[in-house]
Amino acid sequence: MSDHAARLLVVDDKRDLAQGVALVLEEVSADIRVVYAAEEALEALDHAPADVVFSDIKMPGMDGIGLLRAIKERWPRTHVVLFTAYGSIDSAVEAMRLGAFHYLTKPFNAEELLVVAHRALEERRATDELVRLRAELEGRYCFHGIWGRDRRMLEVFETVRRIAPATAAVMLCGESGTGKELVAHAIHAESLRAEQPFVAFNAAALPETLAEAELFGARKGAYTGADRDRAGLFVEANGGTLFIDELASMPLPLQGKLLRTLQEREVLPLGAGRPVGVDVRVISAVNEDPILLRRDGRLRRDLYYRLAVLRLTLPPLRDRVEDIPLLAQQFLAAHARDAAQPPKVLRSGAVRLLLAYGWPGNVRELQNVIERAALLARGETIGPADIVLEDESGGHLPPLDAHRPYEEAKAQVLEHFQRRYVERVLADCDGNVAAAARLAGITRAAFYKMLKRLGLPGASPALDAD
């Protein structure tokens, strides 16, 4: 949008002043409409929205403050510039609180008006570009609310598209915090059952009797505390999808009843005399290797084969490092929307720190870390000092191998510590090797040597800038 193509609307009950403002604004745009009442302005905006509205505050009928409220409610991206008399500064302050872009105190000159007009249009262009880029980004990297541009996640998205139209059961495998419920939602949304219910159940959340009643339903009086009939989640999900999270936490007897329900396509509520037919697609999730779960007797073999007709494994965050900055930015944007404030910006040192961390809690942990940083950071940017991780070394110690000789095992742990320490110092110094060496209390040459031995970036002195 060039300034000349911008759509402007002037509102003032004093016709000579409105025409004078429009005449000055012709230097900014060729598309200028003039109306003489707030009610007329709303009709004009209904017909064709404007980029910037210039309005007097004091007018008969609806005043400029009322017009501002209506515009911000119906056209939130439209900027509003208000004109106020010298004695009405309180109204101008109220207008700014309600979202006015600026106010001009009458009498104002043409130069003041043009400066404000250009600023309003520049900000409107920037806002439109941000909206366009966000939409483009969401189209490329967001899949039903799941963000990812790493090859592994793009493969997950493609697999979801392929398996969603089928009616077969799906088992999602992956560590805690990898987004299994989000993927279950995506499968449902891409399926032929998308218009039908999606119901989620956490198998670890309830004791066996209550879990059975929650899943299959119960009649009043079937157990202590059953003071009413309960339909059960299978009945609630009838025609749609039931997501069972932490499947292996379900007691084995309940797993047996679940198997019978899947085989017979009917549920028998607790205390009921006859079963109820159901048509439900089941998506289950486990956070450990299902082979180990079967071997340890925590997951029935026959139930596994019934539920893992289609199996999809979600990668941990440490294996999709490319997604960490993208996810962090999305969490910052979401926090800013909730707090009604501009999103804070991650400094490069903070990004390096996030990239160096092992993320045992995966995406859920990253979200918590980012939200905490956004709350704690004092300024508009987030630096390394604002990033609080569970392990201050920036990662997790490797498992100790008791079968290795003592010196060899010690060397393994020491190397891990050195790597994490160097990465953290570099992050704190925004990648400046000379500054990092000073912070570490060693010579620059020794720091370069350590970088080279650990195979870390910045090992060449030519890359350093003090």
Q: Consecutive sets of 10 residues in the chain, 466 residues long: mean pLDDT of each?
A: 77 94 92 95 92 93 93 88 76 81 88 92 79 63 89 92 94 95 96 95 87 87 71 93 96 94 91 87 95 93 95 94 91 88 84 89 94 86 83 46 61 72 77 83 85 69 42
Return d(Cα 125, Cα 134) in angstroms, integer. Answer: 14
Q: Are the C-beta atoms of 12 and 83 separated by less than 8 Å?
A: yes
Q: Are the C-beta atoms of 285 and 345 separated by less than 8 Å?
A: no
Rounded to the nearest 10 degrees, the angle between the axes of helix 252-264 and helix 208-216 is 10
Q: Are the C-beta atoms of 305 and 294 separated by less than 8 Å?
A: no
Start-end of H helices in 32-145: 38-47, 64-74, 89-97, 110-141
Return d(Cα 424, Cα 128) in angstroms, integer. Answer: 38
Residue 236 CB neighbours (<10 A): 16
Segments of 203-340 assigned E as strands? 241-245, 266-267, 276-277, 281-286, 310-313
Return d(Cα 329, Cα 134) in angstroms, integer. Answer: 11
- What's residue 399's pLDDT? 45
Q: Are the C-beta atoms of 428 and 461 separated by less than 8 Å?
A: no
The answer, yes or no, to whether the previous bond of 290 is cis (omega within 30 of 0) is: no
Phi, psi of 227 (to 5 degrees): -95, 5
Write down all domains in the chain, each with its CATH number in brackets. Answer: 3-137 (3.40.50.2300), 148-315 (3.40.50.300), 319-386 (1.10.8.60), 406-463 (1.10.10)
Start-end of H helices in 101-216: 110-141, 151-163, 180-190, 208-216
Residues 6+ apart with CB under 8 A from 234: 215, 216, 217, 242, 261, 267, 278, 280
- Say what the alpha-carbon torsion angle 380, 118, 129, 353 is, to the nearest 10 degrees: -20
| CA-CA-CA-CA torsion sign (189, 193, 195, 201) | negative
**Which residue type is seen at 130?**
L
- What's residue 435's pLDDT? 83
Residues 6+ apart with CB under 8 A from 440: 421, 422, 425, 447
- What's residue 393's pLDDT? 41
Residue 245 CB neighbours (<10 A): 21
Residue 13 CB neighbours (<10 A): 17
